[in-house]
Amino acid sequence: MPPASPTSPESSSSPSVGRRTVLGAAAAAVPVLAGAAAPARAAGAARRSPRALPGGGDLGPNVLVFDPSTPGIQAALDQVFHQQESAQFGTGRYALLFKPGTYHGLNAQIGFYTSIAGLGLSPDDTTINGDVTVDAGWFNGNATQNFWRSAENLALVPVNGTNRWAVAQAAPFRRMHVRGGLNLAPSGYGWASGGYLADCRIDGQVGPYSQQQWYTRDSSVGSWLNGVWNMVFSGVQGAPAQSFPNPPYTTLDTTPVSREKPFLYLNGGEFRVFLPEKRTNARGVTWGGGTPRGTSLPLSQFYVARPGVSAATLNQALAQGLHLLLTPGIYHVDRPIQVNRANTVVLGLGYATLVPDNGSTVLKVADVDGVRLAGFLVDAGPVNSATLLEIGPAGASADHSANPTTVQDVFVRIGGAGAGKATTSMVINSRHTIVDHTWIWRADHGTGVGWETNRADHGLVVNGDDVLCTGLFVEHFNKYDVQWNGQRGRTIFFQNEKAYDAPNQAAIQNGSVKGYAAYKVGDDVTAHEGWGLGSYCYYNVAPSIVQHHGFAAPNRPGVRFHGLLVVSLGGNGQYEHVINETGSPTSGTSTTPSTVPAYP
């Protein structure tokens, strides 16, 4: 059932927090809170210029905010889930936010394009005695399409001692405290293809069971049960020891550089956005010792965007010095959103989705310090875009090591929800950029899918030096999924499938090479390092296709890899090697990985 039409928003000039109700009678008492009033500075600017945009404002009808006394919470959660459970390419977008306090007897089932989060500074400020559940009943127990959902900043006390989070790509589990165990598989232990967990404490055991791959960063776990193909850990207390390929654990004691994702929280009755500080050689959670380290911004310093707003208005807000908060919904932009100011925050709620019109780029970041992009989806439009997201202009060279740009839970989709094309999805030109969890996906199912219908040559192109990717998922592109030209790049965890729908061997021929590598390091690169990288092929249209290798890189001492694997899924296509001319070929239909523990 779609949400009821909203009532008129209350005045943003009121110092009190406004209320509205959504989702009809079943959740009539569930409030959506308005933002704090615009500051005097912004109000003064508005008097000087009638067209000046205010900061703060209402979070819109698809942000549901609960407190422990709210009646009908379970009914509201169930209604959102009923709408979103199987809406894989639907238009609904929701954020479920819980004020600090203790909640009892809840089971928040999380469907597509739904985010659930606590509004405290620490996960332990908001405790749910109950579960935050993802399962796969909608898809007959197969969790490989449980995309686009998230859980953040909550403490859970699971009813039966173990919380179930059976997800695939683009479904982060961040800043969570599970006072028990965590099961990453669906009921019945069907297929699963995840996933990402960061800044979490799991007191009990994490059981991946059928999960094919998983990346865990800067967390603490009681224990870890098993691994299928590729389990990667960096900065994780309690992680299993390095043992790739048997068991397939790639373990780094620390994460070289990390900065957690910005998040919305309540300070009294005021919404603020917390900006965690950068850590080097990090290990464990950021919040374990009390108040996390970082700074915060009032919501009054954000332009609170609603679907239907134009790119020109978003750019006006940025030019005024405001940050952007994208409330849940779908936004069409006819020109790039231009982020030109250092330390700008662009934060999405509830999988806010940006779609380019007329082949434009969706968002461009100048070569400045400290920009934070987080929590939104970019969906390619029917007219080809040369690029969808650009971090820094071509030739960017400034040193951002002290204050890098971060791209976190920013996901890209080409096709699936409709026809879409983009030559390159994401281009990183700025030095020291951190990409912390992305899924860049040329759709293999849904609407508008075909070898040329949703043509997309490259997923990620890195031209900047000193770029770090932690949790990189890139799939199904027509040519190189990842092309890395910058020096001293590092990737911790990579998951890839080659395009399913190649019509024949000739369609993927790369000069004299059979197929484009999933991850290609440029011929001129002298220093690069990767840990825990996997590429899978499933050429179901032409199963006789041979892919020469999953990975390609220059043979130099400074170019190093740890824990590489390739897998043929059911014998639909085969790899001749893992990297360059190294690694045994895949064969048969057993989905047995071919591995290279270290290269060279």
Active site residues per annotation? 497
Question: Of 23-32, 395-404, 423-432, 559-568, where does mean pLDDT reach its minimum?
Answer: 23-32
Confidence grade of residue 51 (pLDDT, cut at 50, 70, 90): confident
Under 8 Å between Cβ of 220 and 238: yes
Residue identified by tokens 């030739």 is 395
Q: Please tell me the predicted confidence (pLDDT) of residue 289.
A: 80
Please check whether residue 139 is in contact with residue 117, taking contact to mean a CB–CB distance below 8 angstroms. no
Helix (H, G, I), strand (E, B) or coil at 46: helix
Q: Does 250 have pLDDT greater than 70?
A: yes
State what percent of residues in the chain have pLDDT above 70.
92
Rounded Cα distance, 349 and 113, in Å: 10
pLDDT higher than threshold 50 for residue 5: no
Task: Give 336's contacts (C-beta < 8 A, 6+ positions apart).
Answer: 311, 360, 361, 362, 363, 364, 390
Best CA proximity match to 145, nearest among 178, 176, 111, 179:
111
What does DSSP say about strands 330-333 and 345-356: parallel, antiparallel, or unpaired?
parallel
Give the helix/strand (H/E) hosting 572: none
Residues 6+ away with beta carbon under 8 Å from 567:
229, 534, 535, 536, 537, 586, 591, 592, 593, 594
The pLDDT score that the predictor gives to residue 50 is 45
449 has a pLDDT exceeding 80: yes
Q: What per-residue string of b and e applies to 8-29 under the rule 16 or more CB within 10 Å gives b? A: ebeebeeeebbebbbbeeebee
Residues 6 or more apart whose Cβ sits within 8 Å of residue 11: 18
pLDDT of residue 37 exceeding 50: no
User: pLDDT grade, residue 298 (50/70/90)?
Assistant: very high
Ranges 10-14, 177-181, 342-346, 535-539: which has the least confidence: 10-14
pLDDT digits (tens, 9 = 90+) for 93-107: 999 999 999 999 999
The closest of 265, 256, 109, 125 to 187, measured between CA atoms, is: 109
Average pLDDT over residues 37-43: 36
Asked if residue 29 has pLDDT above 70, the reply is: no
Average pLDDT over residues 427-453: 98
CA–CA distance, 313 with 226 (Å, rounded to integer) = 50
Which positions ≥6 away from 403 have C-beta within 8 Å?
278, 342, 343, 369, 370
- pTM, to two decimals: 0.93
Q: pLDDT-based confidence at 403, cuts 50/70/90? A: very high
Q: In which residue are the tokens 């190093």 written?
A: 560
Position 410 scores a pLDDT of 98
Cα(155)–Cα(179) distance, rounded to whole angstroms?
7
The better pLDDT of the pair 44, 261 is held by: 261
The rounded distance, in Å, linking the Cα atoms of 216 and 235 is 8
Average pLDDT for the chain: 92
